[in-house]
Structure 1
Amino acid sequence: MTTNLPQNIRAVLQPDPNTDNLILTKTALPTPEEGDTEEHLVQIKATSPCLAELTWERNFPDAFTSERKRERVPGTEGAGIIITAPAGSPFKPNDEVYFRNSAERRGCLSDYTLVHKKTLAHKPKTQNWFEAAVTPLSSLTAYQALFEHGLLDPRAIVTQGDDAKAREANSKIRVLITAASGSVGSWAVQLASAAGAGAIIAVSGPGKLDEVRKAGATDVVDYTKQSVADWTAEDPSSRECDMALDCVGGNSLAACWTAVRDGGVLLSVSDSPDRVKPASLSSKKLSKATWFLVEPRGSDLAEITKIVDAGLGKPWIDSVVEFEDFQKAFDKVETRHANGKVVIKVTA
């Protein structure tokens, strides 16, 4: 597969990080540096834009201080085929893989890109290219929230041993998940269910209440009819949770403070929980109240591959657009009205 590689390939670039403008152009095929033992050249089949990713470099410049010169190609998650691999790599040419690239690296909105060994995992056999392309970022975020930063033990999942003690411990844990019909929230519901959480309270809009129940939610709060704070206040002794994962920020995150018991855990992928803590709850002490960023970790993604192939988790896809229609994909994601992930078909 290495003999007929093109010298120039299609790529979408963000020339200036201070604007969201994107251009479709031709650029040189990326190649690993001589002697590199980590980089893999991957032919990209599909990728997916992430909300606000075009603003990351200007809003968080300290995260983009790598000395590596890079083309600003967006798309941090993707799926594709290994073209070249360094000697000794567990990934070989022709392997089907998926991954989440670090944000400061060249992305996936290109015919080919370079991917570091530590972020790669073999693609689930039960997924097509579009499903695989939208799985890494959201599933990794939910997985690390629940099992690394949160209270659930992944050893209770059947693909990780089905440990009886872990399942018993998880059965005593109540988990609240906001935006439960969103990309991260839907994965969190499915993974918490797979791990045997005692209760999974899903906060969702009316359009997907049935879907989040089918995904594993034991209770559903329709945020258009009732706030989390009001829901909890109806019966605090039975409704308080051991941990909450907020995927929204703002008032949603603030309301989670009312739902988490003293000594519990509050996690957010949107904002610092302490910044929005209600003054009325100033005396409440949690064991952890943290905003966290996902780590692009291939070892976690390998566990997610097993979970997917066991039928215990799947992404929700809104639509698939052609490569040349990339702007439509970014625009739809930014409206926050996509009914699942938006996929950009690259070479699939």
Structure 2
Amino acid sequence: MKAIGFTKHLNIDDPESLINFEVNKPTPKGHDLLVHTSAVSVNPVDVGVRKGGRTVLKHPKIIGWDACGIVSEVGSDVTLFKPGDRVFYAGSFIRSGSDSEYQLVDERIVGHAPKSLKDDQAAAMPLTSLTAYEALFEQLELTFDKDKNNGKTILIINGAGGVGSVATQLAHLAGLTVISTASRPESIKWTKEHGADYVVNHREDLVKQVNELGYKYVDYILELKDIDGHWKEMCKLIKPEGRIASITENRNPINLRLLTDKKAHFSWEWMYTKSYYHTDDMITQHEILDKVAEMLDDGQLQCTLTRSISPLNAKNLREAHKLVESGHMIGKVVVSDWE
């Protein structure tokens, strides 16, 4: 089968940073689906794994954590899908990725693809939707009860990014007042279109800006970019007994003492945890993706695809990586249709 990967951690402008090659098609066992992929999305994690290292690999590493495709074969324990089903998923951090013509993925982290979306649109949604949904409804413990959320506020840092674009929509649907951060005219416009009631600039003093909106504190904070740079601001803005969740890694120690007198909660969100550790609730990712598909088909959620590239080959995947690396991506980029 065709595949795209790397053996060296190189600058994306180097033609060897991502290469085309062929490898044997795998065989599904147990709960595995063998999916014939048709479209893949690029996320910051792809860039981080591709760049992060110095060793030269003996065999090319296949990455990719967003895909849409058709189930080709199933393992002996599969009950949720059958061959011919159209699916979408974000996959596992510890298995071969979606940048291959065929991929093995556990059925418990796979959803039925939205019927109303094309393959490239569907491939844009899994990782960001799972991350946003888990962060809001598992880590921050929100519900979709609008009466309960009436009058409550959430600050979403980096609301125009991939995860933020879904999180603003979900928080808005749940009935919260959404304060999003963005710094450029186009990103401000984007996040307002996706559910933000107010927009503040993350390059300026967040505490001052949120206070000027009339809010001394916010009930929830979802941090999606630069936890080190915003930690003290978040600790000042969070309401007593409020909740903060973050998806970004810290490079400096986090001073949790700043939350002591507020008795505030802090938690991490990592979309891969369930599949990485095979947690007892791993199947919830299947359930979340099916729910997201319904919300997309019903028009409650908007697809966040902003750039679609074809055909699917190393050259075009390098272009997609370059767009994500720029740090100026709004929404998602997808590469589709194998060359």
Q: TM-score interval w.r.t. the shorter chain?
A: 0.7 to 0.9
In the TM superposition, residue 94 of structure 1 has moved relative to its aligned partner by: 1.0
| Structure number with higher relative contact order (C-alpha < 8 Å, ≥ 6 residues apart) | 2
CA contact (8 A) 1:273 1:290 kept: no
Give structure 1 stretches of 5+ with no counterpart: 1-8, 61-69, 157-165
Structure 2 vs 1, CA of residues 235 and 343 (structure 1 numbering), >3 Å: closer, same or farther?
Answer: closer
CA contact (8 A) 1:150 1:265 kept: yes
User: Is 2:219 the partner of 1:231?
Assistant: no
The 3-state SS of whatever aligns with 2:181 is strand
The C-alpha deviation readout for 1:28-68, integer Å capped at 9, x for no partner, is 11112xxx2211111101111221435449969xxxxxxxx
Structure 2 vs 1, CA of residues 286 and 136 (structure 1 numbering), >3 Å: closer, same or farther?
Answer: farther
CA contact (8 A) 2:169 2:195 kept: yes
Residue in structure 2 matched with residue 345 of structure 1 by the alignment: 336
Q: 2:268 is aligned with what amino acid?
A: W
Residue in structure 2 matched with residue 82 of structure 1 by the alignment: 71
Match for residue 240 of structure 1 among 208, 214, 217:
217
CA contact (8 A) 2:239 2:264 kept: no
State the superposition RMSD in angstroms.
2.7
Q: How does 1:67-216 map to 2 (within 5 A)?
A: 72-87=61-76, 89-153=79-143, 156=144, 166-197=145-176, 199-205=177-183, 206-216=185-195
Match for residue 43 of structure 2 among 44, 50, 59:
50
The 3-state SS of whatever aligns with 2:186 is helix
User: Is 2:297 the partner of 1:305?
Assistant: no
In the TM superposition, residue 135 of structure 1 has moved relative to its aligned partner by: 0.3
Residue in structure 1 matched with residue 307 of structure 2 by the alignment: 319
Structure 2 vs 1, CA of residues 72 and 274 (structure 1 numbering), >3 Å: closer, same or farther?
Answer: closer
The 3-state SS of whatever aligns with 2:44 is coil
- The 1-side partners of 2:166 and 2:237 are apart by 21
- The 1-side partners of 2:259 and 2:139 are apart by 23
- The 2-side partners of 1:212 and 1:335 are apart by 19
User: Is 2:282 the partner of 1:291?
Assistant: no
In the TM superposition, residue 308 of structure 1 has moved relative to its aligned partner by: 1.2
Structure 2 vs 1, CA of residues 347 and 333 (structure 1 numbering), >3 Å: closer, same or farther?
Answer: same
Residue in structure 2 matched with residue 263 of structure 1 by the alignment: 241
In the TM superposition, residue 257 of structure 1 has moved relative to its aligned partner by: 2.0
- The 1-side partners of 2:244 and 2:259 are apart by 15
TM-score by length of 2: 0.83
The 3-state SS of whatever aligns with 2:84 is coil
In the TM superposition, residue 287 of structure 1 has moved relative to its aligned partner by: 2.9
Give structure 2 stretches of 5+ with no counterpart: 54-58, 276-284
In the TM superposition, residue 17 of structure 1 has moved relative to its aligned partner by: 6.7
In the TM superposition, residue 260 of structure 1 has moved relative to its aligned partner by: 1.0
Would you say how many aligned residue pairs link Structure 1 and Structure 2? 313
Q: 1:43 is aligned with what amino acid?
A: H
In the TM superposition, residue 136 of structure 1 has moved relative to its aligned partner by: 0.4
